[in-house]
Amino acid sequence: MNSSGKPLTSIEICAGAGGQALGLHMAGFRHLALLEIDKFACRTLRANVSGNPEWAGCEIVEGDVKEVDPFTHKQLAEFGLQPGELDLLAGGVPCPPFSAAGKQLGEDDERDLFPRMLELVGRLRPKAVMIENVRGILDTKFDEYRERIVGELKAYGYEFCGWELIEARRHGVPQLRPRAVLVMIAKELLAGVKFEWPAGAEEVVTVADALAETMRERYEPYGARGRAVFDRWLQAATERGTEAPTLVGGSKKHGGADLGPSRAKAAWAALGVDAMGVANDPDACVPERDLFRANGPMLTVEQAAIIQGFPRDWAFEGGKTARYRQVGNAFPPPVAEAVGRAIAAVLRPGGQPSSAADGVRMVIPAAGRDTGIAAPAAGQPPVGPTPAGYGQLPFPEAEPEHAGPSA
């Protein structure tokens, strides 16, 4: 929030269970809307946001982002947004097109939503853009695609701040979870101000540190037997003294929930956790299945969420597998908060209100022809819709939305 009392505004696409949204909220952004297609994730967002005065005015828009017009959709039209007014457009576009598990088909994967993200940037002209994805998008095979994405955003007048590989464990998340984050900011806002990527800290929050409280609570009802097994778990996790391996959310196409592939399961075993499945919630606990296993307890959905950096009061909706998938696919809130604060430091240098906060609309124009920004080279089709004349118009003309396959 700035000194005038008006917070920075944001819209997020592919919001999932709200990890990025929560982090940006903690960084001081006021979300106008969270867009998500998964019905269970939308239920989670509503459970935490709707009716919460700290999130007042935030719309949960359930549907295909390709079919949501940011100016005319019934839930968004009431904001009366003009191009250039929004402070931040953020999104964790689908990861499977760039992950090894998803076969890394990139732009040939129908789930790739980078083109839609760029189209929304062209129409909304936010002051800053933040896009999160898996580490795989930084692989050499996607160099040309990343260059085209950055080139098209430069053509809209944005400065490239970097594709940064951020390790969640450096930001208080008890998990080995590298994420690739792209940040671009309107170049006129960077005059005399430098964007600084958050460095984080070397100190690691271990699994023992993160889960001791909830594990103790789970074992307490089982008396001496429970205390003995809890003590063994805590000793194993403490002696290991590490963060968790990367949680994997899995796919709707493949089976139930577990904590990852074989190597991850082995790492969990060293931490005294059986990773072959997910435990029932404490009120539905089956002791021999969930707690008293030969290889240690299985984690509950709540404990998996703690490993992702969520606070305990963030509620997840749906059945156990649906809730775990939301957790496993989430962007850790502390990482989103760290990047959000870095962006806010540019948008509100010194905590001073922007012209928008003063009641004057600050409009980010398209790049002019004298900016040195060129259209994509021959043979390199644009990722998103081509900017009108690469700067001839202050904003691209509104085009009718075209429905596409669901993400």
Residue listed under structure tokens 């944001």:
10
User: 59 in helix, strand or coil?
Assistant: strand
What distance in Å separates the CA atoms of residue 214 and residue 311, rounded to the nearest whole number?
12
What distance in Å separates the CA atoms of residue 188 and residue 381, rounded to the nearest whole number?
27
Active site residue 95: yes
Task: Return the DSSP state at 277.
Answer: S
What ranges make up the beta strands (E) of 108-258? 128-134, 158-167, 178-186
Structure tokens at 192: 């005399």
Which residue in 14, 95, 161, 285 is the catalytic one?
95
Q: Which residues are bridge partners to 60 per DSSP?
A: 34
Q: Which of 357, 406, 375, 391 is nearest to 125 (CA)?
A: 391
Count CB atoms within 10 A of the CB of residue 199.
Answer: 11
Q: Tell me the HSE value of 108 on the side-chain side, using a 13 A CA sphere.
A: 6
Contact 67, 347 (CB under 8 A): no
Give catalytic residues, as residue numbers: 95
